[in-house]
Structure 1
């Protein structure tokens, strides 16, 4: 769980660590980390929620005539970054929620929205929604101009022990940096694709884990630059190679007890877990819009690369949407395998939790688990078993989102409209673009 810190603790840390600047971060509708940086002379204002910024310049926030926003730092997120400014000065970081000038939480802030859905969970008698993210990424070489390329930093494969290439050295420094910032890194390894990596950190409550995945991405990018590499969390950066997923492991707790576990239940799952699972499955198409929010995301969700394509679940099989990993009581969980790391973690967890809680309310059992490879089933067999496909494009995912009132409610009116506007614009831009593939295919017609 997140540590408890006071304003005095932060003041002492600023003085003892010789921190010169304060970076106040928050997240926009697209999951992009934003920040306001102030000198430590403004520390009292920061700690008293007196730092304002122009919200009209942030995607999905507000119009110009209602632009003033206030940053409320979460003291538990205080960290001194392991890199400083050009003159060697240290930088302190606080993750913030965004509020209106009246002091009310701003409904367009994804972090506030997750807190709202977590309150709904607590009103139902549950105490924690624990999450473990497995976010994959690629490390490519930087070009001479300092921009990204798709030139591989290595040609290793899954779990290869590569100790002498730049990718492995970079990954080790990322792990050391994260641990220096208080992360408990459980595993770090090479993934299936060339230059593809995964670093897993210990599960925690939903808000803490969403905060940490944003910090994780910031650290990965910063350390990669030090090594002359470019880190990308793009879902499918290279055609014909494995894409980057962000498997989402979910457990629900009540007063320290994992309510998904039942030693006498089939698969050691409780009825609560199965109801929650059914909620995820029933709303999976709309959740896909949030968990796979880019045009490129759907080039990962294709057969042949272990990413799910169909709405189903299993205990051992890795082809369905949700898998139940072998686990002990406290670690019993549902692993949703569809999301990728371009997803806004706050919105993704709000949507998944809302769907799961609705499943618990409805008390419906899910379809039977799949024991064979879904990709090898005929269409008739899938139809007979009620196995439906996930959306195949961002356009279809947004259509599903617009038809699902529950998942819209998981985001609230403001974020729902901002999300639809942003994604419909992205799809429109994509449909009007002309690619090299099209020119190579059609130029001689």
Structure 2
């Protein structure tokens, strides 16, 4: 790599990447994007080539692929796989500190060959929703929570998932929420997560033990939705790598262990007036505004249509069961964790709505986009919410679809949400998920063999 190209590249990089590269040569750059599942797709290239190459190509079919590797080619007009143009978003450049050499990873913007954003790229879907807010003078703010499990290595899909072995020589115990000693059991993994995050410039607001055996919650600071989704995309890759260093798997499945709580991706949301910088959910005297209630009303009315994005797999719906710290309804309440929508205790300037429906298995770009889309529709249509719920909302009738097939039907039926997220995206997403669902229906489960083989 020439000295000029090195200098030009370094000038474009964020400070965290420049600090990492001080005294080092760039061995490799991972040029990546998130597919519908949130999996990193792209190309790795030598640092010198990356510095000289302003863009590269990938086929649009990466967004037609199911989690099993099949292709929903029916969504295309002739499955010709035209190339998309990927250009680096240098603001996202960050080290990949788990690699053996000096590697950067860079998220890329995705356009078609005419220069228009590819409508079914998840990051573009989120950008579209954020731009709809900004066109009305609003800036959405989010603060996501990440729940995940550390589990014992599992190479046999027929074997049940087990908690990891802790430093005491015993498997991680369940029902130890907020226990510091429980976190210490796998402290080496947590240490690597902290160390990697610091090298990558990712800020962690806190890590705690959740209620499941080996279940961790990681909180992020509030900020710009696209930036936070980028960070979650990076965090998922990094946490898996940190776990593998210690003979442990990290899983973001919504319900990996039978009888244990599921893993959520709660999203705290507020909206700021761009001109004043004030939270539009609070009046000057600290009281709640009509916009605050309309945002909640929009979520109550439209969340059923986006559950297919918040709970994208058949396993996701195993999380929606009573008394496992997961919502089964669309009620809202103040400081009430049994409701699907919770208003946390806060100062008026930090008034926000916590959406507790998303699972950690959802694509962070799509989960945040879907949640914000529901609130936006409520703001625009001035939707009134129900009365706040004060009791145990698990006693209420479920307002959440019970399976992926039902959820996809609700998405197809809500034309307003389709217009906000993009009709082309919704068409592609539905086709991919329908194919995944149909593939699952071909599988005969152990439960069926155990209870039906000789009894029916």
Taking the aligned partners of 1:236 and 1:144, their CA distance within structure 2 comes to 18
Aligned partner of 1:257 in structure 2 is 278
**Residues 166 and 149 of structure 1, relative CA distance in 2, 3 Å threshold:** farther
Aligned partner of 1:77 in structure 2 is 92
Unaligned runs of 5+ in 2: 1-7, 66-74, 165-171
**Aligned counterpart in structure 2 of residue 289 of structure 1, from 308, 311, 324:** 308
SS at 1:152's partner residue?
coil
**Residues 236 and 18 of structure 1, relative CA distance in 2, 3 Å threshold:** same
The correspondence of residues 151-170 of structure 1 with structure 2, limited to 5 A, is 151-153=162-164, 154-155=172-173, 157-162=176-181, 166-170=185-189
Q: What's the TM-score, normalizing by structure 2?
A: 0.87
Contact 2:183 2:209 in 1 (8 A): no
Contact 1:155 1:195 in 2 (8 A): yes
**Residues 423 and 71 of structure 1, relative CA distance in 2, 3 Å threshold:** same
Taking the aligned partners of 1:148 and 1:349, their CA distance within structure 2 comes to 33
Q: Hey, which of these two has a bigger chunk of strand by percent?
A: 1
Aligned partner of 1:53 in structure 2 is 58
SS at 1:34's partner residue?
strand
Contact 2:305 2:417 in 1 (8 A): yes
The correspondence of residues 297-308 of structure 1 with structure 2, limited to 5 A, is 297-308=316-327
**Residues 52 and 318 of structure 1, relative CA distance in 2, 3 Å threshold:** same
**Residues 370 and 144 of structure 1, relative CA distance in 2, 3 Å threshold:** closer
SS at 1:220's partner residue?
helix
Of the structure 1 ranges 60-69 and 416-425, higher mean CA displacement relative to structure 2 is found in 60-69
Q: What's the TM-score, normalizing by structure 1?
A: 0.89
4+ long deviations beyond 6 Å: 144-149
**Residues 149 and 38 of structure 1, relative CA distance in 2, 3 Å threshold:** farther
Q: RMSD across aligned C-alpha pairs, in angstroms?
A: 2.4
Q: In the TM superposition, what whole-angstrom CA distance separates every residue of 1:274-300 from its partner, at most 9, and x where no partner exists?
A: 111111110011121111111011100
Aligned partner of 2:83 in structure 1 is 68
1:405 maps onto 2:410 in alignment: no
Contact 2:128 2:421 in 1 (8 A): no
Contact 1:135 1:340 in 2 (8 A): no
**Residues 370 and 110 of structure 1, relative CA distance in 2, 3 Å threshold:** same
Aligned partner of 2:148 in structure 1 is 137
Taking the aligned partners of 2:23 and 2:132, their CA distance within structure 1 comes to 40
* Pairwise CA distance, 1:440: 0.8
* Pairwise CA distance, 1:163: 6.6
1:241 maps onto 2:251 in alignment: no
**Residues 103 and 45 of structure 1, relative CA distance in 2, 3 Å threshold:** farther
**Aligned counterpart in structure 1 of residue 11 of structure 2, from 9, 12, 16:** 9
SS at 1:142's partner residue?
coil
1:96 maps onto 2:98 in alignment: no
**Residues 183 and 149 of structure 1, relative CA distance in 2, 3 Å threshold:** farther
Aligned partner of 1:42 in structure 2 is 49
Taking the aligned partners of 2:79 and 2:421, their CA distance within structure 1 comes to 22
* Pairwise CA distance, 1:134: 0.7
Contact 1:142 1:149 in 2 (8 A): no
* Pairwise CA distance, 1:103: 2.3
Aligned partner of 2:39 in structure 1 is 32
Aligned partner of 2:169 in structure 1 is none
SS at 1:253's partner residue?
strand
**Residues 15 and 271 of structure 1, relative CA distance in 2, 3 Å threshold:** same
The correspondence of residues 282-431 of structure 1 with structure 2, limited to 5 A, is 282-377=301-396, 389-431=399-441
Taking the aligned partners of 1:16 and 1:55, their CA distance within structure 2 comes to 38
* Pairwise CA distance, 1:141: 1.5
Contact 2:142 2:224 in 1 (8 A): yes
Aligned partner of 1:230 in structure 2 is 249
